[in-house]
């Protein structure tokens, strides 16, 4: 039998074998390899079919529903959220159920050992609430300790991550996700944490078939030793995540009974089990064994914060994004620059006039991104520890003052240093029949976070502290109890007091620049929710000033952008994140008691699904 290969992309060989043999084989059939040269798989030579209407390249239609919607990056998790809605839960319950299921079925991206931000539109109040449940640095996380272990910022380093190790126990901060789950349910949910976690418990205990993109991303980082990190895998991580010593392939059944145990403890005792009880003791034992400095007080005293969103406007709509320490507000500065400057840059034309096949269209988006991210890397940090001049940075006058820094004919340079260029997470959006909507982002930061697994409990500790800085002048300098710069992003577009759409797109520093591109697709180009998630994107790396373009975009405009001075590279979907959005529109007159229709898009770069009823 042909060896089952990692990164398998479709079980077409199984169908072919059944058709030829006329019976089910005794042994599992091999899966076809991915379509990378020099593959000989016949299906890889097939052409893409046409749609009957709309944008011919759109892979699937928007999902439309009236009673509720859940959209995220893994179908089983989306269905867990939808089932929660149908059992009487609201959008907040569905978000918690979906996030918990994702901790099981997409475990490299998110989990109970990670952090969380959520934006909740509460229909009865016509108000958006914002929760920051991101992690705080442990008591011993000081620059001096990192220096003693041999870590320091280089002479030219600046920004988040300067001098910090990425993996291992040193960048672990106190996880905030579980605190946030319970806090959101306590304030806005209709069901109990026990009910909302049940689908995740079942998948963890019974197992689930690993989906294609998840299998592609299933790779542990080296996490040991403490000094000169990192050269070796954590043995507890290998035991948990590599059954038989290897990562699972697409279609393989993976179970995590240790994580089921953790989730049952949360069902029985709530977040106290995580921050003061049995799970807390296990976290502390693991941390101490590896030289970490987290204390029982760090866990027991943890709490998130209810904060105000960052607010701006674009084409008469209000844009709401997460405030510092999240990077999300940079999307608003990008849009401000486009609003204030494009006419001057183009001699009176709009982005829609240019269109997405014009190199100038992309040049202007990238140049606006560079200016916004320069402010982001210079100022963004924990607002409880330093002053972040957000009102000034998001004022239209500030954007207008930067217009002259863009040459419409040539790419600009950027300031070199360190920046948050890696990172993976999950995003999800939910909505219910009452009109409540949730924009949610939950993360381990890097894939499998720190690479450190809590033995017997089936989850990794996140590594968000890797985005602190060891540069003394940085507002993001590491300190006990401080929250680091955070790439996690979530937002809303509001039309008056009503939500028009959620805004979620995951993927490290792609998130804020991806949010801006997503909104331009819809608000400038008129794309529907699904098309907007699928349209080609760029990823600009601020430090190296490299511009990555998805392959079709690279072939269309790459040479022209290179001629304008951009350092252009062709890239695939792994650099572009994944969007999961819900648009809410008024229902047609006379269509019944529900006043709106939900229309959702799930990014085809992921395994995801929009599920409604």
DSSP code string of 311-328: EEEETTEEEEE--TTBST
- For 155, residues 6+ apart whose C-beta sits below 8 A from its C-beta are none
CB 549, CB 568: distance < 8 Å: yes
pTM, to two decimals: 0.93
Residue 160 is predicted with a pLDDT of 85
Q: Give every residue of the chain whose pLDDT is below 70, as ranges.
A: 1-34, 155-158, 415-423
Cα separation, 197 vs 263, in Å, equals 7
Residue 13 is predicted with a pLDDT of 43
What tokens appear for 120 in the block? 């909740």
Locate all alpha helices (DSSP H) within 380-474, ordered by sequence. Answer: 390-393, 396-402
Q: How far apart are the first and last CA of the chain?
A: 43
Domain-wise residue ranges, the chain = 12-44, 69-306+433-467, 308-420+491-612
CB 524, CB 351: distance < 8 Å: yes
Q: Which of 506, 497, 531, 503 has its CA nearest to residue 516? A: 503
CB 215, CB 8: distance < 8 Å: yes
Residue 229 is predicted with a pLDDT of 83
What tokens appear for 309 in the block? 């969103």
Q: Is 128 exposed, middle or buried (0-12, 13-18, 19+ CB in 10 A)?
A: buried
C-alpha gyration radius of the chain: 23
Instruction: Give Dmax (Cα) for the chain.
Output: 71
Locate all alpha helices (DSSP H) within 171-246, ordered by sequence. Answer: 177-188, 193-206, 212-217, 235-241
3-state secondary structure of 568: strand
Kindly report the length of the chain. 613
Cα separation, 2 vs 5, in Å, equals 9
Residue 161 is predicted with a pLDDT of 82
Residue 45 is predicted with a pLDDT of 78
Cα separation, 438 vs 443, in Å, equals 16
Residue 46 is predicted with a pLDDT of 82
Residue 228 is predicted with a pLDDT of 82
CB 344, CB 127: distance < 8 Å: no
Cα separation, 414 vs 360, in Å, equals 19
Residue 200 is predicted with a pLDDT of 98
What tokens appear for 157 in the block? 């380093």
Residue 412 is predicted with a pLDDT of 96
Q: 392-401: long-range contacts at Cβ-Cβ below 8 A with a sequence spacing of 24 or more? A: 393/329, 393/333, 394/310, 394/311, 394/312, 394/329, 394/332, 394/333, 394/336, 396/336, 396/339, 396/340, 398/333, 398/336, 399/333, 399/336, 399/337, 399/339, 399/340, 399/341, 400/340, 400/341
CB 472, CB 479: distance < 8 Å: no
Exposure letters 6-39 (e unless 16+ CB within 10 A, then b): bbbbbbbbbeebeeeeeeeeeeebbbbbbeeeee
Residue 417 is predicted with a pLDDT of 52
Domain 308-420+491-612 sits in CATH at 1.10.246.130
Residue 20 is predicted with a pLDDT of 40
């Amino acid at each position: 039998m042909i060896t089952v290969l990692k990164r398998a992309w479709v079980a077409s060989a199984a169908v072919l074998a059944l058709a030829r043999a006329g019976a089910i084989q005794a042994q599992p059939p091999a899966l076809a390899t991915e379509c990378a040269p020099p593959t000989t798989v016949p299906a890889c030579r097939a052409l893409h079919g046409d749609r009957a209407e709309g944008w011919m390249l759109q892979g699937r239609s928007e999902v439309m529903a009236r009673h509720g919607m859940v959209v995220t990056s893994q179908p089983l998790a989306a269905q867990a959220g939808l089932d929660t809605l149908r059992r009487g839960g609201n959008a907040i319950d569905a978000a918690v159920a979906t996030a918990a299921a994702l901790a099981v079925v997409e475990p490299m991206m998110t989990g109970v050992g990670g952090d969380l931000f959520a934006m909740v539109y509460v229909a009865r109040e016509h108000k958006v609430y914002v929760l920051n449940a991101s992690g705080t640095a442990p008591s011993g996380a000081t620059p001096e300790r990192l220096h003693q272990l041999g870590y320091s910022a280089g002479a030219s380093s600046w920004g988040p991550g300067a001098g910090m190790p990425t993996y291992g126990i040193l960048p672990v901060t106190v996880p905030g996700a579980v605190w946030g789950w319970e806090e959101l349910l306590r304030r806005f949910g209709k069901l109990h944490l026990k009910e909302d976690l049940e689908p995740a418990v079942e998948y963890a205990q019974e197992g689930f078939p690993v989906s294609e993109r998840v299998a592609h991303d299933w790779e542990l980082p080296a996490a040991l030793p403490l000094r000169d990190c990192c050269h070796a895998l954590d043995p507890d991580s290998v035991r948990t995540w590599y059954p038989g010593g290897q990562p699972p392939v697409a279609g393989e059944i993976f179970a995590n009974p240790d994580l089921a145990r953790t989730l049952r403890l949360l069902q029985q005792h709530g977040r106290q089990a995580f921050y003061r009880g049995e799970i807390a003791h296990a976290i502390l034992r693991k941390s101490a064994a590896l030289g970490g400095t987290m204390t029982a007080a760090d866990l027991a005293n943890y709490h998130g914060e209810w904060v105000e969103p960052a607010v701006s406007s674009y084409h008469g709509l209000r844009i709401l994004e997460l405030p510092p320490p999240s990077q999300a507000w940079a999307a608003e500065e990008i849009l401000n620059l486009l609003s204030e400057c494009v006419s001057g840059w183009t001699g009176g034309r709009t982005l829609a006039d240019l269109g997405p096949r014009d190199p100038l269209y992309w040049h202007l988006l990238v140049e606006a991104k560079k200016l916004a991210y320069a402010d982001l890397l210079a100022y963004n940090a924990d607002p409880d520890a330093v002053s972040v001049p957000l009102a000034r940075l998001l004022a239209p006058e500030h954007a207008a003052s930067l217009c002259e820094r863009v040459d419409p004919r040539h790419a600009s340079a950027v300031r070199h240093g360190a920046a948050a260029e890696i990172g993976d997470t999950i995003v999800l959006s939910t909505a219910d029949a009452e009109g409540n909507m949730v924009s949610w982002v939950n993360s381990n930061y890097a894939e499998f976070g720190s690479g450190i697994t809590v033995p017997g409990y089936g989850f990794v500790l996140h590594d968000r502290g890797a985005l602190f800085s060891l540069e003394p002048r940085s507002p993001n300098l590491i300190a006990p109890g401080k929250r680091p710069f955070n790439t996690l992003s979530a937002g809303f577009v509001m039309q008056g007091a009503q939500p028009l759409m959620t805004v979620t797109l995951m993927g490290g520093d792609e998130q804020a620049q991806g949010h801006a591109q997503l909104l331009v697709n819809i608000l400038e180009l008129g794309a529907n929710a699904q098309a907007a998630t699928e349209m080609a994107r760029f990823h600009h790396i601020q430090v190296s000033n490299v511009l990555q373009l998805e392959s079709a975009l690279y072939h269309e405009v790459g040479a022209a952008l290179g001629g304008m001075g951009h350092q252009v590279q062709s890239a695939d979907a792994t650099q572009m994140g994944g969007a999961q959005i819900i648009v809410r529109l008024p229902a047609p007159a006379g269509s019944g008691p529900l006043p709106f229709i939900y229309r959702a898009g799930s990014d085809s770069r992921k395994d995801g699904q929009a599920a409604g009823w």
